Structure 1
Amino acid sequence: MIDKFKAKFVEESLDNINDLEEALFLLENDMNNREIIERIFRAMHSLKGGGAMFGFNHLSEFTHHLETVFDLIRNDKLAVDNDIISLTFEAIDQIKHLLQVGDVDDADEKAHQLAFIQRIEKVSNTGGVNTEAPKTQSAVAESKPAEEDGSKSFLIHIKPNDDILKNGTNPFYLLDDLHAMGSAQVLAFAKEVPGLDQFQPISNYCQWQVILNTSESVNEIKDVFIFVEDECEISIEPLNSSNILNNTNLKNLVDTAISEQKLITKAQLDSLEGSSSAEDNAPKDPRKRTQLKEHKISSMRVSSVKIDELVNLVSELVTIQAQLNLYAEKSGENDIVNLAENIQKLTRQLRDNAFEISLIPLQSELMRFQRLVRDLSKELDKEIDFVIEGGDIELDKNIIEHLTDPLLHIIRNSVDHGIEMPDERIKNGKSPKGTIIFKAYYSGASVIVKVIDDGKGIDPDFIREKAIKKGLIDNKTELSRKEVFDLVFLSGFSTKDQVSDVSGRGVGMDVVKKKIGEIRGEVSLDSEMGKGTTLTLELPMTLSIIDGLLVKVASNQYVIPIANIEKIHAIDDINFGSTFSHVITIDDNQYPYIDLRETFQEEAVSKGTEQLILVKFEDKKVGLLVDQVIGEYQTVVKALGRFLKKQENISGASIMGDGTISMVIDTNRLIHNNATNKYKK
């Protein structure tokens, strides 16, 4: 059981670390932002406390030293600089390592940790005497009301959620911690306690107010509630009086509040001093009050294994529902047909809901790309901004898992070979700081991801010359600009001597193309010399279930994704074999087409009428010639076995309602391969 809790702690810690990294990037651009500093400190505090609780003692000790640095920063005893941020990023890598290995007694491991801790302590010790760090308005305001002993008074309101006790939290411990910080007067409000017939022993019905006099800072008070923020409404308000507990009129106010079960206000306490001060009438600094929103469970953590199982079960349900539809059609009984239609509607809703659950935002992976750009640019002495647009776009988690490595390769190439050195950029009339934009957006049933840099770009003429030299095309082959750039993705195009010549773009790009193709995606490249390069990925939102059009080619059935289809034409009395270069004219428009009988090596026959399905491919439309269109079909896409994995035009297979197998056509790869083979000939 403890292993289960440890695994959950590691998972939650990784979420904390992602938040920590995101906050550090923000702090790097705004080093005096107190809110971000607090966010970083709280993430470290959570890691430290959780580590000690679940037996990650090395992690807890290590994080404690790092937390000390940010405690000095938030108390204005140390100023943030680039060295501290870089050290913190390195420390995050060490924290990830400690989460992975746990508490080990390896001597080398301990020596490494000790060396790192000494670096952190050096920052703490040198920072401890730095009292000249700029104070924020909030820090100055909090230090105003003080006696010679430095004590201050606060009104604290604690309203726990109804279910706080179910999590093992005891609110009385919070009150004890506040008492330990100084002198306190506690007021309990229990007017919401129901009668015995409705009373639930595991529910909380109480709230408290605490009038606290302490020499501790407001940050220390906030730390009392750091583990229960999401389970309570909390407010902390500084009072005008340095020690309100010494006021003789306080007892009457407290007694009245308790007897009437009515909360005390800050204004009432300040009025005990006679009159409110100028500060009381001034606009309040929102940072002096910590008000947490009412917490309702709007999301929950679920194992990815359970989600995969749910999606698989829904996929099986879709297949069985297709069998039911087939049976209903054969039976001809209205009751069974109506029942099948209702089940089909419910199945579709369940399918959509299950896949929405399995989608996760791209933002979950973008932090590692941002970190890569930061670390690599510093290593190469380049200045680069990494801009994210559309990080909230959601994709199937299986797609994101397969997408990460190709994107890392693309972004690394942009940093290493695309963006020029600062002096070279200045010489070319550019800003010394380069920019890489990661942009994602929806396009129909697909997601488009673009990686755009403003670097040196790639020369298409050079690519063409190299392709001719490598024998990939001959010098008479006419290619469009896009087809020239597509040569970069051909296997064997790049060699080591070409790395610097084409900005390293060709190195491994055939592998990138292959990896994206495995998830039914497409990748394309465009570039302009001196202005930069754009790599575009077109990805499906999900891999498992699609709405498809069932077609027949010879004696076999195939599925074409409906999301890619523009229109269907019935073509009568035309000999497709005599059309010039596989181009047909429909409604005064010319369309290239692919004969699927020819693609799948079926015998050519004359049928009189055939169906031409126009599908979208990049910025144009291409026709697919089939024998018959059967109808719309909700398709469960099953992966091909190892013997069929090399079928580049097929992305999977589907089991029909009658038990037969239909292949799912990957239209993007089919059209791309057809065009590639054409200029290879």
Structure 2
Amino acid sequence: MIDKFRAKFVEESLDNVQDLEESLLLLENDRADKEIIERIFRAMHSLKGGGAMFGFTDLSEFTHHLETVFDWVRNGKLAISDDLISLTFEAIDQIKHYLSVGDLEDEDEKKQANALTNKVKRFVSNPSEHDEVELTENVQSVEEEEDGSKSYFIKFVPHTDILRNGTNPLFLLDDLHDLGTAHVIYNDTKAPLYDAFDPVSCYVSWIIILNTEEAINEIQDVFIFVEDECDLEITEVFEGNILEQKDFQDLLESCKESGETISSEILKNVQPATAKEEPKEANKKKGVQLKETKISSIRVASNKIDELVNLVSELVTIQAQLNLYAEKDGQPGIIALSENIQKLTRQLRDNAFEISLIPLQNDLMRFQRLVRDLSKELNKEIDFIIEGGDIELDKNIIEHLTDPLLHMIRNCIDHGIEMPDERITKGKSPKGTIIFRAYYEGASVIIKVIDDGKGIDPNFILKKAISKGLVTEDVELTRKEIFDLVFMSGFSTRENVSDLSGRGVGMDVVKRKIGAIRGEVSIDSEVDKGTTITLELPLTLSIIDGLLVEVAKKQYVIPISSIEKLYPLPEADRNKIFNEVISLGEEQFPVIDLQKVFKTPSTNEKQHIVQVKYENKKIGLIVDDVIGEYQTVVKPLGKLLKSQEIISGASIMGDGSISMVIDTNRLIHNNWIQKLNK
């Protein structure tokens, strides 16, 4: 059971670490933002408390020192400096390691961790060592005003099932004692008789009168993990130490004799003139909110989502079989039932895919960190701007997308953005810019990585490709085809090998990995203006809406998302095709005869044209017949067919036959791209 809770803690802590990293990047640009500082502090506090609770002792001790540093920051005793931000990024990497391996056993790792811990400790042990550390007059005056302690009434009523979630309330009481001096009163009146007693249920509540010099938010932070698992009231009742007052002792005795429960109102009678109503009301409201809070989201293991999508895929296939049976049977009742099940299946499919979609923002933190770290390493100044981070993609696509994007952004930093002096010479700002832009376009997601660096000279690329023997000297290529040479295996413009790039591998891998998720990648660039790398990706990989067509009595699926129009193609119109271009009405566009592509003779006199879009062009695919719309479960091809570039997968039909799914982008690229661009 404890392993289950530890795993849950690690998963939630990784979310905390991501939030911590994101907050730190924001703080680097706005060092006076108190909300961000508080957000960082609370993330560290959560890691410290959870680490101690679930046996991550090293993590808890390490984050305790970090928490102390940022406690000084939020109280104005320590200013944000470059050294502090860099050290905190180092600390974040160490926290990730603790979450990965637990407490350290390797002696070398312990030495490295201790060295980092000592660097953290020095920030508060001797703040004068750090250049940008200074106290402000405002902070000093606030400290003078807040000198002295206060007493708080705390009513802590855990919910019955709090123990089942791995929380030990006694640890929370220990944390309160660490904040100051406390008098604790427990209440066990709700405990049942022995026969009805459940050992994993909590029947006890506590009243704590705490005297401390800490602010009220420190007390609230103690309960940060259990806000939804208890009823809580925190009220300031006395200016000073109420525990030393004779009236307080008298009140305790009086309540004990009368059986009356001690309350914040009673304690305020010790010194009514200093009682403050506002904190009490605020905490009462907070208590009501805690009771009324509804769970708006749940955490689900990714393998369960994969299983759900697979089951829905199987359901779609079976539903296609039911449709086929209903059509053959012809009974109105069966047909109506089949149509209703089809509607429900489509709704279930859409919901299942919405569940499997996750925002790109979840994965963008590592890109921000990459830009920050590499720009400092290379002594370059770079702004990283994110547009459309809330765009959602299938989690399986995002998993395959991370490495290509990392390589693309690394190339922008290393190859693209110039050194500050060089940029100034060119009349540019010394600080470069990399833009990550994502947006929907039809049933696809477009991602652009744009830099304002030196750009790529197409003539230089062509010369490099010729010198490496990738193309011949007499070749005639369009501008786009020249840029596509960057994706060829072994191509590199870098003369010297560096730690970042220049080994002739990378962009070919990017193209291959993007192609594996049925995506397309292209480059456009202008010398001294910058480079844009564009990715076009499907929203999902598993189930698509397709148009079922027939070519030589074999069925194929064309994704509906790529289709523009359908045209009948009688024999009279076939004569209008000249040089593989057809004129229909006022429209003229190229066509690809799928009979020739698949090397099969036509068996149908009445043909059709399925007009699809490719980039900003329209191209017609000639098929023998159009059968109709079809929900397609896309299955991957086996090893023997994996090299078929124009086929992205296969689908099992209702009658058990197999239909190939056509990748229209690759089909057009392989058959027409050279003709279209010349």
Does the alignment reach a TM-score above 0.5? Answer: yes
Q: CA deviation at 1:291?
A: 9.3
**503-512 or 338-347: which moved more?**
503-512
Residue by residue over 1:407-438, the C-alpha shift from the partner in whole angstroms, topping out at 9 and shown as x without a partner, is: 01100000111111111111111111111111
Paired position in structure 2 for 1:423:
421
1:667 aligns with 2:669: no
Among residues 620, 623, 626, which one is paired with 2:623 in the alignment? Answer: 626
Among residues 652, 656, 664, which one is paired with 2:653 in the alignment? Answer: 656
Taking structure 1 as reference, are residues 553 and 262 closer, same or farther at Cα in structure 2, changes over 3 Å only? farther
| Contact 1:584-1:592 within 8 A present in 2 as well | yes
Counterparts of 1:131-530 in structure 2 under 5 Å? 133-134=134-135, 144-146=145-147, 150-154=148-152, 164=162, 166-167=164-165, 169=167, 174=172, 178=176, 181-182=179-180, 212-231=210-229, 241-242=239-240, 272-273=272-273, 294=290, 295-466=293-464, 470=469, 472=471, 477=476, 479=478, 481-491=479-489, 493-494=491-492, 497=495, 508-530=506-528
Query: Separation in 2 of the partners of 1:586 and 1:454?
Result: 43
Query: Separation in 2 of the partners of 1:593 and 1:586?
Result: 12
Taking structure 1 as reference, are residues 262 and 563 closer, same or farther at Cα in structure 2, changes over 3 Å only? farther
Paired position in structure 2 for 1:33:
33
Q: CA deviation at 1:30?
A: 2.2
Taking structure 1 as reference, are residues 585 and 79 closer, same or farther at Cα in structure 2, changes over 3 Å only? same
| Contact 1:244-1:250 within 8 A present in 2 as well | no
**572-581 or 306-315: which moved more?**
572-581
| Contact 1:41-1:67 within 8 A present in 2 as well | yes
1:569 aligns with 2:567: yes
Q: Which amino acid aligns with 2:639?
A: R
Q: CA deviation at 1:46?
A: 2.7
Residue by residue over 1:471-526, the C-alpha shift from the partner in whole angstroms, topping out at 9 and shown as x without a partner, is: 637757362x44443333344554654999xx979863222111101101111111
Query: Separation in 2 of the partners of 1:270 and 1:597?
Result: 95
Paired position in structure 2 for 1:108:
108
Q: Which amino acid aligns with 1:105?
A: E
| Contact 1:446-1:538 within 8 A present in 2 as well | yes
Q: CA deviation at 1:136?
A: 9.6
Query: Separation in 2 of the partners of 1:136 and 1:652?
Result: 68
Q: Which amino acid aligns with 2:98?
A: L
Query: Separation in 1 of the partners of 2:570 and 2:212?
Result: 91
Taking structure 1 as reference, are residues 349 and 139 closer, same or farther at Cα in structure 2, changes over 3 Å only? farther
Taking structure 1 as reference, are residues 12 and 182 closer, same or farther at Cα in structure 2, changes over 3 Å only? closer
Query: Separation in 2 of the partners of 1:330 and 1:463?
Result: 60
Q: CA deviation at 1:37?
A: 2.4
Matched position secondary structure for 1:322: helix
Residue by residue over 1:52-80, the C-alpha shift from the partner in whole angstroms, topping out at 9 and shown as x without a partner, is: 33333333333333333323333433322
| Contact 1:576-1:582 within 8 A present in 2 as well | no
Paired position in structure 2 for 1:127:
127
Paired position in structure 2 for 1:91:
91
**549-558 or 31-40: which moved more?**
31-40
| Contact 2:393-2:539 within 8 A present in 1 as well | yes
| Contact 1:189-1:261 within 8 A present in 2 as well | no
Among residues 578, 582, 585, which one is paired with 2:583 in the alignment? Answer: 585
Among residues 531, 534, 541, which one is paired with 2:532 in the alignment? Answer: 534
Taking structure 1 as reference, are residues 505 and 538 closer, same or farther at Cα in structure 2, changes over 3 Å only? farther
Q: CA deviation at 1:306?
A: 1.2
**228-237 or 18-27: which moved more?**
228-237
How many aligned positions are there?
Answer: 663
Residue by residue over 1:93-133, the C-alpha shift from the partner in whole angstroms, topping out at 9 and shown as x without a partner, is: 22222333333532322222233223323333222898973
TM-score (norm 1): 0.84
Taking structure 1 as reference, are residues 296 and 678 closer, same or farther at Cα in structure 2, changes over 3 Å only? same
Q: CA deviation at 1:342?
A: 1.1
Matched position secondary structure for 2:126: helix
1:16 aligns with 2:20: no
| Contact 1:187-1:208 within 8 A present in 2 as well | yes
| Contact 1:472-1:680 within 8 A present in 2 as well | no
Taking structure 1 as reference, are residues 111 and 170 closer, same or farther at Cα in structure 2, changes over 3 Å only? closer
Query: Separation in 1 of the partners of 2:92 and 2:391?
Result: 26
Q: Which amino acid aligns with 1:559?
A: V
Among residues 634, 643, 648, which one is paired with 1:646 in the alignment? Answer: 643
Matched position secondary structure for 1:345: helix
Q: CA deviation at 1:89?
A: 1.0
Query: Separation in 1 of the partners of 2:621 and 2:197?
Result: 66
| Contact 1:34-1:74 within 8 A present in 2 as well | yes
Query: Separation in 1 of the partners of 2:170 and 2:55?
Result: 26
Q: Which amino acid aligns with 2:441?
A: S
Matched position secondary structure for 2:384: strand
Query: Separation in 2 of the partners of 1:345 and 1:488?
Result: 46
| Contact 1:247-1:272 within 8 A present in 2 as well | no
Q: Which amino acid aligns with 1:643?
A: L
| Contact 2:236-2:275 within 8 A present in 1 as well | no
Residue by residue over 1:620-652, the C-alpha shift from the partner in whole angstroms, topping out at 9 and shown as x without a partner, is: 211111111110000100011111110000110
Taking structure 1 as reference, are residues 163 and 590 closer, same or farther at Cα in structure 2, changes over 3 Å only? farther
Unaligned runs of 5+ in 2: none
Matched position secondary structure for 1:323: helix
| Contact 1:582-1:594 within 8 A present in 2 as well | yes
Q: CA deviation at 1:48?
A: 2.9
Residue by residue over 1:566-587, the C-alpha shift from the partner in whole angstroms, topping out at 9 and shown as x without a partner, is: 1100111247588333111122
Matched position secondary structure for 2:303: helix
| Contact 1:554-1:602 within 8 A present in 2 as well | yes
Q: CA deviation at 1:366?
A: 0.8
1:54 aligns with 2:49: no
Taking structure 1 as reference, are residues 274 and 467 closer, same or farther at Cα in structure 2, changes over 3 Å only? closer
Taking structure 1 as reference, are residues 2 and 573 closer, same or farther at Cα in structure 2, changes over 3 Å only? same
RMSD: 4.3
Q: CA deviation at 1:213?
A: 3.6
Query: Separation in 1 of the partners of 2:486 and 2:111?
Result: 47
1:614 aligns with 2:611: yes
Matched position secondary structure for 2:645: coil
TM-score (norm 2): 0.85
Q: Which amino acid aligns with 2:71?
A: D
Q: Which amino acid aligns with 2:63?
A: T
| Contact 1:495-1:507 within 8 A present in 2 as well | no
Taking structure 1 as reference, are residues 250 and 452 closer, same or farther at Cα in structure 2, changes over 3 Å only? farther
Query: Separation in 2 of the partners of 1:446 and 1:679?
Result: 23
Residue by residue over 1:329-387, the C-alpha shift from the partner in whole angstroms, topping out at 9 and shown as x without a partner, is: 10001111111111111111111111111111112211111111111000000011111
| Contact 2:455-2:527 within 8 A present in 1 as well | yes
Taking structure 1 as reference, are residues 137 and 222 closer, same or farther at Cα in structure 2, changes over 3 Å only? farther
Query: Separation in 2 of the partners of 1:182 and 1:646?
Result: 70
